[in-house]
Structure 1
Amino acid sequence: MDLQVKGRRALITGSSSGLGEAIARLLAAEGADVVVHGRDVTRTEAVAKDIGAVAAIGDLATDAGADAVATAAGEIDILVNNAGAYDTVGWPESSAELWQRTYNVNVVSGIRMIHRLVPGMRDRGWGRVVQIGGGLAMQPMAMQPHYNATLAARHNLAVSLARELAGTGVTSNVVAPGAILADATRDLLIGLAPSHDWGTEWPEIEANAVKSFVPNDIGRFGRPDEIAGAVAYLCSPYADYVSGATLRVDGGAIRSVA
């Protein structure tokens, strides 16, 4: 299926690894002119070279870093705000300073790029802005309260931006992943399997780990490529009629009729 993004220039923040890298690879395969972003020069340039993309280096938690990335990226048609950070800190340890730092990294960094790149989309009459959110925005857990709140902020700002951009040809939406299987996650689960009696073979370990940690209708963890597919759809002309929406890709983990 041709997603009709050939020739569109796309910046995916935080795309030197993980979900961001999967999104960058798929959009590049679909013919988009991709800009790979990261803070680590070696890793970012390696991904960019592998997929025939441009590398943009900078810390989006600072104005100077955002300026550097915007300059390297140039005129952008598609902005995917994926960059962010999380930890396993609970309420007792989540200081006000940690809340502020996490909000800056996970929310304000995306706003910096919106301010720098979306006006050009509006002027040209076409564009896509996609926030990477998550189910914890709607059903937060006790752990990571500061991280949960930043996901909710990403969802909220995406809808507000959609209203701001009404009638301009630029859309704003959210992709909300569930628990996604990265290499480090797989290694962790295999290491935990003996003490939790999850079995010895990977299919059994994954199924039992899902039941324990992230129950969902599919019975497994999501894959980065599945998130990339949802993002690519929202970036395509097939999503012209999608505005201010949240596309959940979580195996049915979030139980909601809305």
Structure 2
Amino acid sequence: MDLQLTGKRALVTGSSSGLGEAIAGRLAAEGAEVVVHGRDVARTEKVAAAIRGQGGRTAVAIGDLATDEGAAAVAAAALAGGPIDILVNNAGAYEHLSWADATPEDWRNTYEGNVISGVRMIRHLVPQMRDRRWGRVITIGGGLATQPMQSHPQYNATLAARHNLAVSLARELKDTGVTSNVVAPGAILVESVKDLLTGIAPARGWGETWEEIERGAVRDIIPNDTGRFGKPEEIAAAVAYLCSPLADYVSGANLRVDGGLIRNVT
């Protein structure tokens, strides 16, 4: 299927690794020119070089979106090659903290990095999309926005805020040709997750092979209808669809890609 992204320019924040890297690669494969963003120059350039090696068109933007200055620098670098048609707000991070451990400063820093960072990029880039009467804003959220765990509460709350602001933005952009949507991944098997699960497997009695470990982790931690973890490329495919002109009639939506982990009908 041709997603009609040739000629579009996309900025994927936090795309020097993990989900962002997969999203950037998929959009480039669909014909978009992708601005790869990260804070580490070497890692970001490596992702951009890999995309170019596959025949894709790419640029690089370096900066910390948790600061006004860093976000402005990223926006300027992204716009240096032309208008941005697609903004994927993927950048974010979390620490595995309990309610007792998460200080007000932890909450403040997490909100700055996971919520206000995206707001900054929206403010820099969306007005120009509105002027051109076409654009896409995709926010990467997650099931913890609606079904939070007792652990890492500061992170759960920022996911809820990301979902909320994305829908509010969709309402703001009514009749402009610019849409705003959420893609909400479930448990996705990036390298850091695999390393974590392998490390805790002996204490959980999950076995020794990866197949045994994954089966035990799904059963005990993330029971879902597919019986496995998701893949980064599955999230990337969902994002690519919502970026496409084929999704013109989709706005304010939450597309869950979680194997049925979140069990509600909304």
**What is the aligned counterpart of 2:186 among 161, 178, 183?**
178
- The alignment-based identity, stated in percent, is 70
CA-CA distance at 1:195 after TM superposition: 3.0
In structure 2, the residue matched to 1:99 is 107
d(CA) in 2 for partners of 1:187, 1:154: 27
One of 208, 217, 221 as aligned partner of 1:213? 221
- Partner of 2:209 in structure 1? 201
Q: CA deviation digits over 1:24-77, x for unaligned, max 9?
A: 000001110000000001110111122131010000011110111011001200
Task: Look up the match of 2:138.
Answer: 130
Give RMSD over aligned pairs: 0.9
Superposed structure 1 runs of 4+ greater than 6 Å apart: none
Instruction: Return the letter of the residue paired with 2:137.
Output: V
Quote the residue 1:86 is aligned against: 94
Output the amino acid matched with 1:195. A
Q: Distance in 1 between matches of 2:15 and 2:196?
A: 22
Once residues 210 and 96 of structure 2 are traced to their aligned partners in structure 1, the CA distance between those partners, rounded to angstroms, is: 25
Q: In 2, Cα distance between the equivalents of 1:160 and 1:154?
A: 10
Equivalence for 1:163: 171
1:97-117 Cα deviation digits (max 9, x unpaired): 111111010000000000000
The equivalent residue for 2:55 is none
Out of 69, 73, 83, the residue aligned to residue 68 of structure 1 is 73
Could you state the TM-score of these two structures normalised by the residue count of structure 2? 0.95
Q: Give the equivalent residue in structure 1 for 2:11.
A: 11
Gapped regions of structure 2 (runs ≥ 5): 53-57
Name the aligned partner's letter for residue 72 of structure 2: D
**Structure 1 residue matching 2:7: 3-state secondary structure:** coil
Q: How much does 1:193 deviate?
A: 2.7
Q: Which structure 1 segments of 5+ residues have no match? A: none
**Is 2:214 the partner of 1:191?**
no
Q: Secondary structure at the match of 1:6?
A: coil
Write out aligned runs for 1:110-129 (5 A): 110-129=118-137
Choose from 152, 156, 177 the match for 1:144.
152
CA distance in 2, matches of 1:150, 1:192: 26
Secondary structure of 1:111 counterpart: helix
TM-score, length-scaled by structure 1: 0.98
Partner amino acid, structure 2, of 1:65: G
1:21 aligns with 2:26: no
Cα deviations across residues 148-195 of structure 1 (Å, max 9, x unaligned)? 000000000001000000100000000000111111222332333333
State the alpha-carbon separation in 1 of the partners of residues 143 and 232 from structure 2: 16
